[in-house]
Amino acid sequence: METGESGAGSCVLRSAEVGDAAALAAIYAAHVESGSASFDTVPRTVAETEEKIRDIREKGWPFLVATRGSEIVGYAYASQFRDRPAYGFACEDSIYVRSDHVGQGIGSQLLAALITQSTAFGFRQMIAVIGGGEPASVALHGKMGFEHAGRMRSVGRKFGRWLDSVYMQIALGEGDSSAPKREPDERKAPSK
């Protein structure tokens, strides 16, 4: 998959590859070390990032990188919102843009493509869990049609201060207006 648009903020989007791990780890590390978007306090290693790419791709979920020329300037992926089977149609988005490229439309381009690919996968709801209630992330998700779904106050602590998590949500495809073609794996109680 490769997409691109013309314009100052445009970049080329493609599927993530394991070989991208060092660049993605560096982008994530900058957010962990200086921001509240991630509640991690220690950045992922390159090896952990390689494993994340493999895991998401093996499940068929979208994992995108944004490039300008030969440089990776951002990435986004969707993963199942929670690991229990009944959550199988809800995903959580994660988007990180290299700090020297923030505010250039890359996040919008990544999120639009992520919504499209997550819908194609069969997810029916996308949840944004916005660490620190980051205003730029709230604005980005609102611009893309997400609605406020809640705020968990002071659930994180980083850089000597309490942090909220803001939840935003958007329906994908038919949302909850129809039943999916497949049901999640459910364990049935033994018959008596």
Tens-place pLDDT, residues 39-67: 999 999 999 999 999 999 999 999 999 99
> How many domains is the chain partitioned into structurally?
1
Is residue 189 in a domain?
A: no
Is residue 67 in a domain?
A: yes
Is residue 59 in a domain?
A: yes
**Can you tell me the distance from the alpha carbon of 85 to that of 102, in angstroms, rounded to the nearest whole number?**
35
Cβ 36 vs Cβ 158: under 8 Å:
yes
Average confidence (pLDDT) over 168-179: 96
CATH number (domain holding residue 39): 3.40.630.30
Q: Is the pTM of this model over 0.85?
A: yes
Residue 20: which domain range?
Answer: 7-171
Is residue 45 in a domain?
A: yes
